[in-house]
Amino acid sequence: MVILAPFNVSINGQDLKPGTQIPQPGKGIFIKKAQAYPYLLYLPKNFVADHQHSYPLLLFLHGAGERGNDLELVKKNGTPGFVESMEDFPFVMLSPQCPEEETWDSERLMALVNEAIENYSIDTNRMYVTGLSMGGYGTFDLASNYHGKFAAILPVCGGGQKLKAEKLIKTPIWAFHGADDPVVPVSESKNMVEIVNKLGGNAQITILPGVGHNAWDYVYNRAEIYQWLLSHQLK
C-alpha cells in the first residue's frame, strides 16, 4: 500500500504543509504596546483550504520554561512535541511562544485566535484551550476573559483567579494536577474547580497520585482528552 504525503496548501501566498508545524510570526499587531505572539501552526493532514471545510481549533499554551524567542522550545513539553507523529490529529493547533519575563496576555492570545479564524477555516463552535503550568493559568484566564468563545478548556497544573470563576460556569473544564506538585499546589486547581461547580458550572479534576509538577507527561499523550474536548461544542 502506498501512503501519499499531504499536499501543500497555499494560504495568503504562503505554502503550508499539513501534518507539520510551521513557524508563523503573527501579524505583528501591537496591542498594549506589545508585539503579537509568534507561534507554531499545525494543520491537520486532511486540511483543505476552502469554504466547504472547517476544523476545530486547539490553542496550546506552554509553561514558563519555554519562554523566549526560539519556537523550537515550544516543542519541549506537551502536544507540540509529538503531534507530527500522530496518525490522526483533527485540530488546527496554534502553539504560541511567550517572551522572556512575561506571562500570557489574554488580549494578545485572542488576537491570535482571531487571526486563525480569518485564515485557517476554523469552526468557531469548536475552539478549545489547554496549557501547562503558566499555560494552565493562561487557560483559565483566557476562557474567563472571553467567556462564551471556547467550547471547553483543559488546564494542566495551573490555577485561576477565584473572582473570575463565575465567568467559567458555562465552559466545560477538565483540570489535571499532580498530587505532590511542589511548584503549583494542587489546591490551585482544586479550588477553581470547586468554586466553578458551586456556582453551577461543569468542572472536573483528575489528581495524579505520586506526580509532582510534571503532570503534562501523564496527560497530553492520552487520546481521551482530545476526544473529550471534541465532545463539546458551542450551541
Digit-coded pLDDT (tens) for 161-177: 999 999 999 999 999 99
Mean pLDDT computed over 4-15: 60
In the chain, where the domains are located? 24-230
Q: Is the pLDDT of residue 88 over 70?
A: yes
Which of 29-43, 121-135, 180-194 has the least mean pLDDT?
A: 29-43
Residue 28 confidence (pLDDT): 53
Residue 4 confidence (pLDDT): 40
List Cβ neighbours of 46 (8 Å cut-off, separation of 6 or more): 6, 18
Which of 8-17, 116-125, 133-142 has the least mean pLDDT?
A: 8-17
**How many degrees, rounded to 5, is the angle at CA 43 between CA 222 and CA 34?**
95
CB burial string 121-131: b at 16+ within 10 A, e below: bbbbebbbbbb
Residue 16 confidence (pLDDT): 82
Residue 13 confidence (pLDDT): 61
pTM as predicted: 0.93
- Smallest CA-to-CA distance from 175 within 200, 201, 199 is with 201
Dihedral sign (CA 153, 155, 158, 159): positive
C-alpha distances out from residue 89 to 57, 71, 172, Å: 11, 21, 21
Confidence band (pLDDT; 50, 70, 90) for 133? very high
- How do residues 26-60 score in pLDDT, each as one tens digit? 765 555 556 789 999 999 999 988 878 999 999 99
Confidence band (pLDDT; 50, 70, 90) for 1? very low
Burial class (CB in 10 A: 0-12, 13-18, 19+), 51: exposed
Residue 204 confidence (pLDDT): 99
List Cβ neighbours of 2 (8 Å cut-off, separation of 6 or more): none
Number of Cβ atoms within 10 Å of the Cβ of 166: 15
- Measured between alpha carbons, how far is 174 from 49 in angstroms, rounded to an integer? 31
Does domain 24-230 fall under CATH 3.40.190.10? My reply is no
Q: Taking each helix axis as running N to C, give the angle between helix 106-119 and helix 134-145, from 0 to 180 degrees, rounded to the nearest 10.
A: 70
Residue 99 C-beta-side C-alpha neighbours within 13 Å = 9
Q: Is the pLDDT of residue 2 over 60?
A: no
List Cβ neighbours of 136 (8 Å cut-off, separation of 6 or more): 61, 155, 156, 157, 158, 159, 175, 184, 189
Q: What is the pLDDT of the chain when averaged over all its residues?
A: 92
Specify the higher pLDDT residue, 11 or 6: 11
Mean pLDDT computed over 59-86: 97
